[in-house]
C-alpha cells in the first residue's frame, strides 16, 4: 500500500537561516495529523514545501510515493484566509481547481461539495456576501472538490471567533468522513489539535524538528469535555513550555 | 450573511434625485441674468435663447449633425485604437518582467512629454488628413489605459495567485483566470480616464486643419467672432463627454458588481 505522505530528512533554509533542520514525518492514509509548535518555527513553511509551492529544499517529500517537485493535484490546500476570488460566485470558486469546470459532472461535484460544507443555498452568492466562517467553509469546499489524497490546512480557523471555529472543526470532520483525505493541520490551538487529530506532532523551535509526538485515542465523535483530551492538552502545553525553556537556556 | 436589506424600502425604487441638477440650473440662471442685468454684452456672452437659436440654425443647415458625427467618429476610432494598443501592451508588460524592463522606462519617459506637443509634429509628418487626428486621439487615450492596467496587474494579491499555483495552473492560465479579472477595476478606471482624454485631444486635433467637427466649429466661430456658435460647440462637447462617461460607468457597474467597496454598496 502506498503512503500518502512521507517526509524524510527535510531541511530548508531562507538565505543563511535554517528554518527546518532535518524533519521526518510519515502519515498514514486518512490519518489526521496536527502540527503544533512555537510561532515562527517553520510550520507554514513545511506545508508550503509539501504543497510544492517552494521546491528549494533538501531531503525528501513524497506524496503517494512520488517525489514532490511542484504543485500536484493529489495535494490540496486551505489557507489561513479564505482567499476566494471576489469576482466569482461561490459555485465558480469551488469549481476553480477542477480540470473540467463546465458541464453537468462538474456542476454536480460542486453542488455536492457545497452540500457537505452546508452552503448549498449560497451557490450563486458572491464572496462579499459571506461571513468569515462561510467564506472559510467555501475555501474548504474548493480544496475538497478535486478530492485530493492529502489536504493541507494552514491555521484554517485561526481568524474566526471561538464558536464559529468549533462549528468549522465539525464541518471539517464531516467532510473528512465523506472524502477521507489525509489531513495535515497546522494550528496554534491546542484544543483544536487534540479534538481533531489522530496524532499531534510537536515541532521544536527553529530550525524545526519533530520534538514530540502525542497519540490521541482514535474514537470519534469526540467530546470536547472529555478529560483524557484535556489531559493531552496539558501534556502538550508542558511539552511546549519545555521547548521554550530549552530555547531560553540555550540563548 | 446575505446582506440584501436594500431589496425592500427606499433604495430599490427611489426616484432620481434632483440634487445633481441644482448646480447646472443655477449656472444657466446666473448666465442668463448676467446678460440681462448687463454685466456682459450680448456679443460677449450671448444669453441661452440666442445660443439655442444659433444651435437650431446650425442644425437646420445640417452643419451641427456633421460636426457631431465627425467628432464622435474620430473619438471612437482614436480611443479604440489607443486603448486596444494599451491593453495589448499593458497585458504584456504587466505579465512579463522582461517586457516591462524592455518598454517600461521608454514609455515612462514618453509619458512625461506633454502629449499635445505631438500635435505639430504629427501634422508636419502626415498632413491635415484624418490619420494625424486619429493618432493624436489614440496617444491621448493610450497612456491612462496603459498606466492603470499595468498598475492593476502588478498590484494583484499574491495570495490569490498562490491559490492558482496550488492547482498547478500554467502562467497563461493564471493570467487569464486570476490576474486579468483582478485588474479589471483598474482597467475600467483607465478606460474612463482615456475616454476623457480622447475628447480633449479630438478638439485639439480639430483645431488644426479640419473642415468639420466641434473643434473646427470652435476655431471657425472664433475667427468670425460668433460667440453663440462657440457656446453651442462647448455645450455639445460637455453633453457628449458626460454621455461617454455615463456609458462607461454603466458598463463598469455591470462588470464590477462583485466589488466590495463603498461605491458598490451605494449602487445597490
How buried is A134 (Cβ within 10 angstroms: 0-12 exposed, 13-18 middle, 19+ buried)? buried
Which whole number is the average pLDDT over B212-223?
86
Which whole number is the average pLDDT over A124-141?
93
Angle (CA) A169-A110-B173 rounded to 5° is 105
Which whole number is the average pLDDT over A43-48?
91
For A153, residues 6+ apart whose C-beta sits below 8 A from its C-beta are A77, A78, A172, A183, A184, A185, A186
Give pLDDT, residue B6: 44
Reduce the DSSP state of residue B13 to 3 states and report it: coil
User: Is the pLDDT assigned to residue B220 strictly greater than 70?
Assistant: yes
Distance from CA of B159 to the nearest CA of A (A): 7
Asked if B257's CB is within 8 angstroms of A86's CB, the reply is no
Asked if B159's CB is within 8 angstroms of A79's CB, the reply is yes
Confidence of residue B1 (pLDDT cuts 50, 70, 90): very low
How buried is A198 (Cβ within 10 angstroms: 0-12 exposed, 13-18 middle, 19+ buried)? middle
ipTM of the complex: 0.88
Q: Nearest CB to B167: which of A71, A88, A131?
A: A71
Which whole number is the average pLDDT over B80-105?
89
Give pLDDT, residue B147: 92
Q: Is A155 on the interface with B (CB under 8 A)?
A: no
How buried is B1 (Cβ within 10 angstroms: 0-12 exposed, 13-18 middle, 19+ buried)? exposed
Give pLDDT, residue B2: 47
d(CA A70, CA A52): 4
List, as own/partner pairs, every contact residues B175-182 make where C-beta atoms lie below 8 angstroms and the sequence separation is at least 24, other chains included: B175/B91, B175/B95, B177/A96, B178/A85, B179/B94, B179/B95, B179/B153, B180/B91, B180/B153, B181/A85, B181/A87, B182/A85, B182/A87, B182/B152, B182/B153, B182/B156, B182/B157
Mutate to test the interface with B, among A47, A51, A128 (most CBs of B within 10 A): A128
Confidence of residue A42 (pLDDT cuts 50, 70, 90): confident
Q: What percent of chain A has pLDDT over 90?
A: 56
Most confident of A137-151, B23-37, B101-115, B210-224: A137-151
C-alpha pair distances (Å), A146 with each of A76, A106, A152, A168, A238: 8, 10, 13, 20, 39
pLDDT per position as a tens digit, B243-262: 999 999 999 988 888 888 77
Reduce the DSSP state of residue A13 to 3 states and report it: strand
Q: Which residues pair with A154 in a beta bridge?
A: A186
d(CA B22, CA A175): 59
Give pLDDT, residue B40: 77
Q: Nearest CB to B166: which of A71, A86, A126?
A: A71
Q: What percent of chain A has pLDDT over 70?
A: 97
d(CA A208, CA A205): 6
Q: Which residues pair with A200 in a beta bridge?
A: A34, A214
Give pLDDT, residue B7: 43
Nearest to A244 by CA among A38, A52, A101, A96: A38
Confidence of residue A95 (pLDDT cuts 50, 70, 90): very high
Give pLDDT, residue B62: 83
User: Is the pLDDT assigned to residue A150 strictly greater than 90?
Assistant: yes
User: Is the pLDDT assigned to residue B206 strictly greater than 60?
Assistant: yes
User: Is the pLDDT assigned to residue B86 strictly greater than 90?
Assistant: yes
d(CA A154, CA A47): 7
Confidence of residue A251 (pLDDT cuts 50, 70, 90): low
Give pLDDT, residue B4: 47
Helix (H), strand (E) at residue A87:
none
Q: Find out whether the peptide bond into A221 is cis, omega within 30 degrees of 0.
A: yes
Helix (H), strand (E) at residue A178:
helix A162-179
Which whole number is the average pLDDT over A82-108?
90
For B141, residues 6+ apart whose C-beta sits below 8 A from its C-beta are B78, B79, B81, B82, B83, B86, B194, B195, B197, B198, B201
Cell 517526509 appears where?
A: A7
Cell 449656472 appears where?
A: B27
Asked if B163's CB is within 8 angstroms of A96's CB, the reply is yes
Give pLDDT, residue B9: 44
Asked if A131's CB is within 8 angstroms of B1's CB, the reply is yes
pLDDT per position as a tens digit, B3-49: 444 444 444 556 778 888 899 889 888 888 888 887 777 777 888 88
Partners of B259 on chain A (C-beta within 8 Å) are: 86, 128
Q: Is A221 on the interface with B (CB under 8 A)?
A: no
User: Is the pLDDT assigned to residue B195 strictly greater than 50?
Assistant: yes
Confidence of residue B114 (pLDDT cuts 50, 70, 90): confident
User: Is the pLDDT assigned to residue B182 strictly greater than 80?
Assistant: yes
φ and ψ of A17, to 5 deg: -95, 115
Cell 476623457 appears where?
A: B196
DSSP codes of every residue in B45-99: S--HHHHHHHHHHHHHTTHHHHHHHHHHHHHHHHHHHHHHHHHHHHHHHHH-HHH
In chain B, which residue's Cα lies nearest the Cα of A95? B167
In chain A, which residue's Cα lies nearest the Cα of B166? A71
pLDDT per position as a tens digit, A8-36: 999 999 888 888 988 999 999 999 999 99
d(CA A214, CA A227): 16
Tell me the average pLDDT of chain A: 89
Asked if B165's CB is within 8 angstroms of A53's CB, the reply is yes
pLDDT per position as a tens digit, A173-223: 998 998 899 999 999 899 999 999 999 999 888 888 888 888 888 888 888
Q: Dig out the grid coordinates for A40 from the structure.
A: 515562527
Nearest to B267 by CA among B250, B247, B246: B250
User: Is the pLDDT assigned to residue B212 strictly greater than 50?
Assistant: yes
Helix %, strand %, coil % for chain A, to 5?
Answer: 40, 25, 35
Give pLDDT, residue A249: 67
Distance from CA of B177 to the nearest CA of A (A): 9
Q: Nearest CB to B181: which of A51, A53, A87?
A: A87
User: Is the pLDDT assigned to residue B108 strictly greater than 70?
Assistant: yes
Q: Nearest CB to A81: which of B159, B166, B259?
A: B159
Give pLDDT, residue B178: 94
Give pLDDT, residue A124: 93
Asked if B2's CB is within 8 angstroms of A125's CB, the reply is yes
Nearest to A191 by CA among A154, A162, A220, A151: A162
In chain A, which residue's Cα lies nearest the Cα of B261? A128
d(CA B161, CA B169): 10
Which DSSP symbol is given to B177? I
User: Is the pLDDT assigned to residue B268 strictly greater than 90?
Assistant: no
User: Is the pLDDT assigned to residue B242 strictly greater than 70?
Assistant: yes
How buried is A227 (Cβ within 10 angstroms: 0-12 exposed, 13-18 middle, 19+ buried)? exposed
Strands A17-27 vs A150-154: parallel, antiparallel or unpaired: unpaired
User: Is the pLDDT assigned to residue A84 strictly greater than 60?
Assistant: yes
For A101, residues 6+ apart whose C-beta sits below 8 A from its C-beta are A95
Q: Is A173 on the interface with B (CB under 8 A)?
A: no
Distance from CA of A125 to the nearest CA of B (A): 8
Asked if A76's CB is within 8 angstroms of B160's CB, the reply is no
In chain B, which residue's Cα lies nearest the Cα of A86? B258
B41 Ramachandran zone, left/alpha/beta (phi>0; psi -120 to 50): beta
Q: Dig out the grid coordinates for B94 from the structure.
A: 504587466
Which whole number is the average pLDDT over A90-95?
94
Confidence of residue B122 (pLDDT cuts 50, 70, 90): confident
Asked if A86's CB is within 8 angstroms of B259's CB, the reply is yes
d(CA A19, CA B129): 67
Confidence of residue A166 (pLDDT cuts 50, 70, 90): very high
d(CA B53, CA B50): 5
Amino acid at each position: 500500500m502506498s503512503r500518502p505522505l512521507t517526509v524524510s530528512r527535510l531541511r530548508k533554509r531562507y538565505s543563511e537561516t535554517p528554518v527546518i533542520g532535518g524533519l521526518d514525518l510519515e502519515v498514514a492514509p486518512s490519518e489526521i495529523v496536527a502540527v503544533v509548535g512555537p510561532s515562527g518555527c517553520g510550520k507554514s513553511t513545511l506545508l508550503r514545501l509539501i504543497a510544492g509551492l517552494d521546491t528549494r529544499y533538501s531531503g525528501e517529500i513524497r506524496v503517494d510515493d512520488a517525489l514532490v517537485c511542484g504543485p500536484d493535484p493529489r495535494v490540496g490546500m486551505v489557507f489561513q484566509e479564505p482567499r476566494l476570488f471576489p469576482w466569482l460566485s461561490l459555485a465558480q470558486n469551488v469549481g476553480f481547481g477542477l480540470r473540467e469546470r463546465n458541464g453537468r459532472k462538474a456542476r454536480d461535484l460542486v453542488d455536492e461539495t457545497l452540500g457537505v460544507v452546508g452552503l448549498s443555498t449560497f451557490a450563486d452568492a458572491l464572496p462579499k456576501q459571506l461571513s468569515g466562517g462561510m467564506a472559510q467553509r467555501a475555501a474548504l469546499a474548493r480544496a475538497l472538490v478535486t478530492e485530493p489524497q492529502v489536504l493541507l490546512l494552514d491555521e484554517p480557523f485561526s481568524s474566526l471567533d471561538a464558536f464559529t471555529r468549533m462549528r468549522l472543526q465539525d464541518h471539517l470532520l464531516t467532510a473528512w468522513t465523506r472524502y477521507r483525505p489525509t489531513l495535515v493541520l497546522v494550528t496554534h490551538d491546542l484544543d483544536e489539535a487534540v479534538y481533531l487529530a489522530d496524532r499531534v506532532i510537536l515541532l521544536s523551535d527553529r530550525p524545526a524538528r519533530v520534538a514530540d509526538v502525542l497519540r490521541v485515542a482514535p474514537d470519534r465523535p469526540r467530546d470536547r469535555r472529555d478529560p483524557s483530551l484535556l489531559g493531552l492538552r496539558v501534556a502538550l502545553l508542558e511539552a511546549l513550555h519545555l521547548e521554550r525553556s530549552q530555547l531560553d537556556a540555550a540563548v | 450573511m446575505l446582506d440584501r436589506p436594500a431589496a425592500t424600502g427606499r433604495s430599490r425604487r427611489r426616484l432620481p434625485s434632483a440634487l445633481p441638477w441644482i448646480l447646472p440650473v443655477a449656472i444657466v440662471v446666473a448666465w442668463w441674468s448676467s446678460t440681462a442685468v448687463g454685466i456682459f454684452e450680448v456679443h460677449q456672452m450671448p444669453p441661452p435663447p440666442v445660443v439655442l437659436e444659433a444651435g437650431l440654425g446650425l442644425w437646420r443647415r445640417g452643419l451641427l449633425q456633421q460636426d457631431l458625427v465627425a467628432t464622435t467618429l474620430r473619438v471612437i476610432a482614436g480611443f479604440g485604437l489607443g486603448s486596444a494598443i494599451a491593453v495589448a501592451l499593458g497585458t504584456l508588460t504587466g505579465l512579463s518582467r522582461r517586457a516591462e524592463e524592455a518598454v517600461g522606462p521608454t514609455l515612462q519617459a514618453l509619458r512625461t512629454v506633454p502629449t499635445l506637443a505631438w500635435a505639430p509634429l504629427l501634422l508636419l509628418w502626415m498632413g491635415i488628413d484624418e490619420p494625424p487626428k486619429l493618432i493624436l486621439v489614440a496617444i491621448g487615450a493610450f497612456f491612462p489605459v496603459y498606466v492603470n492596467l499595468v498598475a492593476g496587474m502588478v498590484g494583484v494579491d499574491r495570495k490569490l495567485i498562490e491559490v492558482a499555483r496550488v492547482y498547478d495552473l500554467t502562467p497563461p492560465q493564471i493570467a487569464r483566470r486570476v490576474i486579468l479579472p483582478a485588474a479589471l477595476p483598474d482597467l475600467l478606471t483607465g478606460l474612463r480616464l482615456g475616454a476623457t482624454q480622447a475628447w480633449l485631444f479630438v478638439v485639439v486635433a480639430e483645431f488644426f486643419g479640419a473642415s468639420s467637427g466641434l473643434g473646427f466649429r470652435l476655431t471657425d466661430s472664433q475667427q468670425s467672432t460668433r460667440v453663440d456658435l462657440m457656446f453651442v460647440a462647448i455645450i455639445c462637447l460637455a453633453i457628449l463627454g458626460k454621455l461617454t462617461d455615463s456609458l462607461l460607468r454603466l458598463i463598469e457597474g455591470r462588470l464590477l458588481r462583485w466589488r466590495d467597496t463603498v461605491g458598490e454598496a451605494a449602487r445597490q
